[in-house]
Amino acid sequence: MFSMTLVMLVIVLALLFDFINGFHDTANAIASAVATKALSPGAAIILAANLNFLGAISGTAVASTIGQNIVNPRLIDPPVIVAALSGAIIWNIITWYYGLPGSSSHALIGGLAGAVIISLGTGFINWQWLKDILAVLIVTPLTAFIAGILTMRLLLLLLNNAQPSRTNNCFRKLQIVSAGMASFAHGSNDAQKSMGIITMVLVGSGLLNDFEVPFWVKIACAAVMAAGTAVGGWKIIRTLSRQIFNLRPANGFAADLTASLIIYTASITGFPVSTTHVVSSSIIGVGAAQRFRGVKWNTALNIAVCWLITVPAAALTASIIYMVINFTLL
């Protein structure tokens, strides 16, 4: 039986990661609605916080993937999870500070892999599952980009002879719905990652016999993510809503609709995805469909670089933290 102090530390860090995920990724669901003035910033955050909570308690498929498919939870001890979460949290704070829409999913997967490898070795990683997860993390932004192009082109075709003022008013209303969908989808995927981590340590410490997310873990993670969402991530909102493409209501609706469907599909199939990557890619796709040169590709390139370095950076950070913890405990 592990020290309850260490178990509690893991739970606190997992909830902290969940909170940071909430304010770090708030922009995913509401950036386009704020940019087009479909919602005021305050109303958008209230909407996002409430629907993030509902999405978070809608299932546990992603929690199961994170908590028991990458590594056997019975082999994990709290210091490994402390290092993994610390690596992910540090990287999330760095990307938030610089206003970059980095990926909480990439950071957590990287942190977990780095901590497990440095503590137990490469043989304890379920590489097939890890490869599948990384493949989905890579494919979903590409899918969102292509789907964003197709959705926007379809809307342009349908709205070819429509009056711009009536179109804008109509899509501002529809954006409230699509922003709500994106917020629900975000909660359904991202909050479950912390649920999986907490349940993992409860199984590993012998406090749970089987991997089943307790009700209190669901509520705690959902509430903390909603609280983080309420804080907001304004730096990232500015990046997504202003520095990629000058969004109009129809653009915002197309991007939110595309992203929410892709994210929720991943949630019900149990795959963690980067909501940041999916939303960013859908916005870029929508912008490219309407005016390729209107997309600020330098910003898109900076975001892509951030995506690529997150997994190894979080893994390295987690490895260093684990070595420090291990040296301290010796």
Q: Where are the beta strands (DSSP E) in the chain?
A: none
Pick from 108, 85, 100, 19: nearest CA to 280: 100
| E strand or H helix at 146 | helix 127-158
Pick from 223, 225, 244: nearest CA to 233: 225
Determine the pLDDT at residue 11: 94
* 18 or 300, higher pLDDT: 18
**Mean pLDDT, range 71-91, rounded to an integer:** 89
| pLDDT above 60: residue 23 | yes
End-to-end CA distance of the chain: 18
3-state DSSP helix/strand/coil % of the chain, to nearest 5: 80, 0, 20
Range of the domain at 225: 4-329
Question: Sorting pLDDT into bands at 50, 70 and 90, what band is 327?
Answer: confident
- Share above pLDDT 70 across residues of the chain, in percent, rounded to a whole number: 90
| pLDDT above 70: residue 244 | no
Decide if 229 contacts 48 (C-beta within 8 A). Answer: yes
Q: Among the listed ranges 69-73, 89-93, 101-105, which one has the minimum average pLDDT value? A: 101-105
Determine the pLDDT at residue 294: 63
DSSP state of 70: S
Decide if 251 contacts 284 (C-beta within 8 A). Answer: no
| pLDDT above 60: residue 238 | no
**Mean pLDDT, range 124-129, rounded to an integer:** 93
Determine the pLDDT at residue 165: 78
| pLDDT above 60: residue 129 | yes
Determine the pLDDT at residue 234: 56
Question: Sorting pLDDT into bands at 50, 70 and 90, what band is 76?
Answer: confident
**Mean pLDDT, range 317-325, rounded to an integer:** 93
- Share above pLDDT 90 across residues of the chain, in percent, rounded to a whole number: 46
DSSP state of 58: S
Decide if 65 contacts 196 (C-beta within 8 A). Answer: yes
Q: Among the listed ranges 98-102, 214-218, 284-288, which one has the minimum average pLDDT value? A: 98-102
pLDDT tens digits, 26-67: 666 777 787 778 888 778 888 888 998 999 999 999 999 999
Q: Residue 296, exposed/middle/buried by CB under 10 A (0-12, 13-18, 19+)?
A: middle
What contacts 103, CB < 8 A, 6 or more positions away? 137, 274, 276, 277, 307, 310
Residue given tokens 């001890």 in the structure block: 77
Question: Sorting pLDDT into bands at 50, 70 and 90, what band is 249?
Answer: confident
| pLDDT above 90: residue 94 | no
Q: How many CB atoms lie under 10 A from the CB of residue 57?
A: 18
**Mean pLDDT, range 147-171, rounded to an integer:** 87
Angle at 308 between CA 270 and CA 228, to 5 degrees: 60
pLDDT tens digits, 203-221: 988 899 999 999 999 999 9
Domain count within the chain: 1
Largest CA distance in the chain: 73
Determine the pLDDT at residue 101: 63
Buried b (16+ CB within 10 A) or exposed e, 66-77: bbbbbbebeebb
pTM: 0.86
| pLDDT above 70: residue 1 | no
| pLDDT above 70: residue 81 | yes
